[in-house]
Chains A and B, each alone.
Chain A
């Protein structure tokens, strides 16, 4: 399983891809695979603030509800509206399906997140459990 190294990852299976102080956020291939058929994505409104490590929404498959944890703090500038009607896009392309775009309030937070290689190692350990 290849995780793109153009972004950072969390142990809660979110990714964050920064470009200056703006960043997009989504969930990983491992997360979508664990959830199964995704049927619902609940996201905050544009203009709301999210805080690193805190819940910002949820994603639901037929059988499970999973909280989404913010990989970094910031203000929401865009929400991927397509996921409201086509949540299965996350199953089809987790790394291409951004959920939120935010303006990072503490860009330095990204330094504490996992690289693609470290995340890949982490999920390999999770899968072996």
Chain B
């Protein structure tokens, strides 16, 4: 039995213990009071031992508090373990398939649905199970001690079960409605915001009525869902009180034992001990919606299957003494059925080659395809050896691609730099920053500075230079640089061009740029958008 299933058993066990001890606490208290009332009558037979139940009541109270605390603690540890495991598998799946959320909102949704899934045992499973166990316990109690109450209680439970099925049906419907309304509002809001420059041209875009209506629809569907949950609780309360009154009327005139008071009061307080189960149902149905897409898109083998860590693809032809020639024959990038213009060219190393051409044809995609991140058609030969997607990402890598909009990870500057060079020393990092003309005050503390979303924001030019510093650290024989001069002021661009000229004496540089300083000395300029290229 591994740690997680042990925690699961413990958490469910403590949860059940808490729920049943609080129900028992009420039951025994009621019975005790009634029994005391009977024993307190002057005519009562002596010898009622009140010390045992009184002690039992105190014991149950302690049990309830302890098990409540332990359930929370174990349940939370379970949640954290499940969360860590699931996220690790998700990360591995996304990193190896290279398919994942495209924007921050999708990533946040994934974050949320993984959290919902991890919380399922504590938030949904245990409370629902407790509700069922308590109802069965009540039925068993009646069957043994109070047979005449068993049938009405069975009837009550049947009514509850039917209502529950009905409730779940409406709940699923409302959850789906909210999902649809939210997706619609997300889409419309995005569309509306993206076209703000054109609002003055179209009266229907200019006034916000349409977007306000869509927002109203979402708000309505959200409130309908919340309304349903609140009404579910109210039904439990009123049904419980009604059933208790009926039970009282049914039992009162026929039976006069203290035991008879127990089911009546338990039914009357039905809302209190069934409410967690109701909320658990809500949580589980909502989590199921998110988990379905999670399973479909990322973890087809299941949410609990023990996944493997990401493993790197097999390697690698690495030329020992730099690259002599990279040859493209009818090379075109491919993505989702689309393809770029095919290119036949030869890039001799060491040297600097410039690719120019109209924007929008996929020069960046060309570089991604060269580095193996995108599929390609045609042939790519590195010193006569065919490069495929499988052997393109090698270790050490033969290609280093500095992306046009490279992402800075939420981490320290040092970690961001070491991404491609895990063993680099601080001094090497500082040297690389200096080489890339990155004007930070160079000291060890700066390397520990946090970058990314919650850290220091970087300007476009700083990002570019950070990418160049990473290239320098990677020491790959082929550099693919996407718009390295964009966002740099003229003076810095000139310095960087000089550094690239020097670098071109010892490796192969392929630079995509629509604007570049005059001192850049390309060995060859390839026009990627010229009509001579075939677009098909």
A in complex with B: no
Interface residues of A (CB under 8 A from B): none
Interface residues of B (CB under 8 A from A): none
